[in-house]
Structure 1
């Protein structure tokens, strides 16, 4: 999936007609939209996925990066929701994406031994019981015994720690404040790579995938049903051209952009329909809540091995999470009233996170320890009005609704249950047209999953062949799974790609080229922020590495020197603006500063600058 496949996708979409439409057009390549495209393509439907920005550029790359059942829902007695999330967690760990999703132990430290051990312990025991129930259900479907299912759990049972065990397991905690704790398991994922893999998996099944392609209106070309949406008008941000995408069914998975996307429904309606729509159906109402995280160096917090911390705060939950190169600490939960395109961490956000982290740690973290930050917006779904005339399916966490005939919207939910949301919205959208096409995503692994075990067995061999340590190979395997061979093929053709980036030694040069040739990266920001996580992992947030990264990308994407410099300048200006925003007091000031410094070069009309793809550059593609 590269720039040429994007161009082919747009050509295929442009070739759709009212007489020969796409089966499904999905708008929004976050986790739900990408999963919906994968689901629809897996049913054999002619599918297209479009995204106004980069794949996963919004909320889906700015989460806590956890796949979890949701302990807090147990406090609400929502056992069904927790069981569903745990089932999805275990599916990802064992079948769907074991290369991307990994078990992660968390410690819940106790200040009051007896009270907390009894209360938290009973809750986590129920959590493990619900997980065992979902495991037993899967095993029974395969004819396995309940005992065998318990032995093959995706994660271990919880265990209690005394004061000594806690000090050995996580010496960085305040040992005078905490007296033992409880260790239980959930899982973590690089959220951007999960979404990217979903989009690539959809593409591998025949879906047309086109990032940097915005919906600017909807089509209504059915004379028998003038209210019916029959597709969308798209603008290619890289060329400025407009394309009509005709589709039998259109799915809107826009997250915090849902409100703006719904405005286009009325705007593109014939005048005689607009008054009726104003007084008729109600749409999906989504509010944005901001959550931020900061990253600090691994040496700043002492821990025995890869293990996280979870505690409750007065407003949210505090996580201290080990990532590959850093610790991530968050999160906040504050209302966001600014433009959804430019969330940012403010001084107050950072102070809040540091204050609560320092309340549990034995040493003190300061602003000087911070490597990076990210801010994401949770799409908080408001209750659907009871007087709506629209067909609707509501769950505890997400809602699927007919926004207009031919246009289905989905909103709410969380990262862990993305697959259920995707299945629900595709089921809902195509029920009238393709009732016999069942979802296969419960049993269909994502790209890189099949054969992953064989590649992990070869880790020592790969390390020896390339002069790498075991950690380097494990990092590659956790990013690419059985597709690691494609990265190694690039190195076999050009051994200079086997070297690490000079200013970001955790990342190989081959990974940058691979992101351009196989993962649809079009800008330096795509490479440093989502294909890799250097923006959060190195002290200068990738500013120094941008020079080498842009040079590698230029050779693949056909950039001239002017374009290469523009990419570097835009990214560095964005990083500078981000750091300035972190010193500001208000969301409004921070958002305005971020909006004024987009991370990719812009044309005169505010769109991303196109790449002059040359035949010579395309020869680098494998």
Structure 2
């Protein structure tokens, strides 16, 4: 079975949607929906998953890009939640996605002597213990390390000398959130799931007794509709949960509120630190997270009452994050340091379901409930615990008896690129020498493609020009753009910039200077003519202008209005 999300895969998948009856239809292609699709498909269930936008286009491409237990939850005594998250962290680091999830040290700065160090050491120590227990007794990441003031400054020399008297170094992990989702979808397709992006559920279909028997799905690329028949429908639509539930017409369901979190991105060379920073702020927490070529700093936690599709940071949001970071930085960050911004919406689950009489399973962080006969919804949770949420959703849909016959296998199931990753790392020097790539380039490629790297290198063997760096973004090579379109399901130029070659949030012009070159490679991979290529370029340039205008706006409503000045590349109908 092919795992490629290729140009030919999508038409075939659309045909399969209408031709077959599925055991499970998943609505939503974020990390939860993608996880559900893989969980169901790997149990042997005939599975389909549809997403109204690109894969991971919502919250799942706009997170803090962390896989973490949630150290702050310990201070709320949420031991079960932290243990669950740390167990999943260990699985991702060792088995599920070791190529995409990388251990990362952080500093917890201490401001007072003795009591705070002891208090914090107990908290971080418990974090370490839960981590080891969750990993089956193995030490997957190093345990806490206490630093003097001098030691802390060696790890993070830019911190204000009076901002701490020492620090505790602890470990969590980081992830390219959008890439993990894409790999979940591709792995589900490997197990025969049918996956279609830019396909919107416009109605839920009912049979006798009002049971949900499937959905009407509109292909937003053509405007055509297909009827999808399914024994079980699972909605994993995040902040759109209530909209999806309304189509079912039942009295059950979940209540979800949208909370905006924003991040800024600054160049890697701006801070010489070797560890990240974890700070508790008045309103939220602040992570200063190092990546290979940049730092991500955030986040905020504010109610969002505007349109849900394109949340954006405001000037006020950006100033807040800068101010919080500058509380501890010797040389303050300014707007001139910022090379990117992005905003995402957390689906905050409210305490009660809409109909308490409906069957429901509630965890600390997520809830699964029956919306109507034949349909369930899941919401809440953390990115880190997507796999647990997926398992719960499929178990709930099947019922306890059938779930025991078909148990989840995803706890030990590697994603594409994970199997043989360490062996591929051992080939790094040899492959780098063969293709003229330095150690920095090889680390970048291995951490994106894992053991699938030979597939990318094979395209360079066929066309050596694909081995060249992008002129305007030399951290990426042309082969990465080609693979995004040929294998990773990108069907529009913006799909590449936002979720695959992530220049939308990692360059000051949001990738504008690379548009022509990336469009040229994409057009060849997707067989676009000159008119289609020109439309794609114009659309993405309009998006850039709207996003740049939005981040200068003073308020949510003004920022949202500025962002909506750019039309989507596809709307409710046809790409014209």
Q: Is the shorter-chain TM-score for this pair beyond 0.5, marking a shared fold?
A: yes
Q: CA deviation at 1:575?
A: 1.2
Q: Deviations over 1:419-451 (max 9, x none)?
A: 000000001012278441111001111111001
Q: Deviations over 1:533-576 (max 9, x none)?
A: 11222222200101100111101112111211111111121111
Q: CA deviation at 1:177?
A: 2.3
Partner residue, 1:458: 427
Partner residue, 1:155: 141
Matches within 5 A, 1:463-612: 463-598=432-567, 600-602=568-570, 607=573, 609=575
Contact 2:311 2:560 in 1 (8 A): yes
Contact 1:577 1:593 in 2 (8 A): yes
Partner residue, 1:289: 259
Alpha-carbon distance in 1 for matches of 2:400, 2:233: 13
Alpha-carbon distance in 2 for matches of 1:381, 1:539: 34
Match of 1:308 among 237, 258, 276: 276
Q: Secondary structure at the match of 1:545?
A: helix
Change beyond 3 A, Cα 1:393–1:478: same
Partner residue, 2:364: 396
Q: Secondary structure at the match of 2:252?
A: coil
Partner residue, 1:613: none
Q: Secondary structure at the match of 2:308?
A: coil
Match of 2:380 among 391, 397, 412: 412
Alpha-carbon distance in 1 for matches of 2:526, 2:62: 27
Q: CA deviation at 1:609?
A: 2.1
Partner residue, 1:619: none
Q: Deviations over 1:485-511 (max 9, x none)?
A: 110010000000000100000011001
Alpha-carbon distance in 2 for matches of 1:425, 1:596: 38
Q: CA deviation at 1:418?
A: 0.3
Partner residue, 1:234: 217
Contact 1:341 1:595 in 2 (8 A): no
Q: CA deviation at 1:283?
A: 1.4
Change beyond 3 A, Cα 1:214–1:567: same
Alpha-carbon distance in 2 for matches of 1:539, 1:583: 14
Q: CA deviation at 1:115?
A: 3.0
Unmatched runs of 5 consecutive residues or more in structure 2: none
Q: CA deviation at 1:463?
A: 0.6
Determine whether 1:188 maps to 2:174: yes
Matches within 5 A, 1:212-361: 212-221=198-207, 223=208, 225=209, 227-266=210-249, 277=250, 281-303=251-273, 305=274, 307-361=275-329
Matches within 5 A, 1:198-213: 198-213=184-199
Partner residue, 1:126: 126
Q: Secondary structure at the match of 1:264?
A: helix
TM-score, length basis structure 1: 0.90
Q: Secondary structure at the match of 1:360?
A: coil
Q: Secondary structure at the match of 2:99?
A: coil
Contact 2:218 2:225 in 1 (8 A): yes
Q: Secondary structure at the match of 1:505?
A: coil
Q: Deviations over 1:224-258 (max 9, x none)?
A: x2x10000000001111010000011100000010
Alpha-carbon distance in 2 for matches of 1:421, 1:606: 30
Partner residue, 1:422: 390
Partner residue, 1:99: 99
Determine whether 1:3 maps to 2:7: yes
Partner residue, 2:52: 52
Q: CA deviation at 1:48?
A: 0.4
Match of 1:13 among 8, 12, 17: 17
Q: CA deviation at 1:114?
A: 2.3
Alpha-carbon distance in 2 for matches of 1:454, 1:231: 44
Alpha-carbon distance in 2 for matches of 1:216, 1:524: 25
Alpha-carbon distance in 2 for matches of 1:327, 1:113: 30
Contact 1:601 1:608 in 2 (8 A): no
Unmatched runs of 5 consecutive residues or more in structure 1: 139-148, 267-276, 611-622
Q: Secondary structure at the match of 1:235?
A: strand
Q: Secondary structure at the match of 2:379?
A: strand
Contact 2:549 2:563 in 1 (8 A): no
Change beyond 3 A, Cα 1:345–1:431: same
Alpha-carbon distance in 2 for matches of 1:420, 1:441: 9
Partner residue, 1:143: none
Determine whether 1:371 maps to 2:339: yes
Q: CA deviation at 1:606?
A: 5.1
What is the alpha-carbon root mean square deviation over aligned residues? 1.3
Deviates more, 1:183-192 or 1:126-135: 126-135
Alpha-carbon distance in 2 for matches of 1:392, 1:493: 54
Contact 1:550 1:564 in 2 (8 A): yes
Alpha-carbon distance in 1 for matches of 2:113, 2:319: 29
Alpha-carbon distance in 2 for matches of 1:329, 1:113: 27
Q: Secondary structure at the match of 2:361?
A: strand
Q: Secondary structure at the match of 2:168?
A: strand
Contact 2:85 2:384 in 1 (8 A): yes
Contact 1:24 1:250 in 2 (8 A): yes
Q: Secondary structure at the match of 1:447?
A: coil
Alpha-carbon distance in 1 for matches of 2:573, 2:497: 20
Deviates more, 1:245-254 or 1:69-78: 69-78
Partner residue, 1:616: none
Structure 1 runs (4+) greater than 3 angstroms displaced: 432-435, 605-608
Alpha-carbon distance in 1 for matches of 2:534, 2:181: 29
Change beyond 3 A, Cα 1:406–1:606: closer
Q: Deviations over 1:115-164 (max 9, x none)?
A: 321221110011101112222xx3xxxxxxxxxx3xx4110001010011
Q: CA deviation at 1:386?
A: 8.7
Determine whether 1:384 maps to 2:352: yes
Partner residue, 1:141: none
Deviates more, 1:538-547 or 1:196-205: 538-547
Contact 2:252 2:354 in 1 (8 A): no
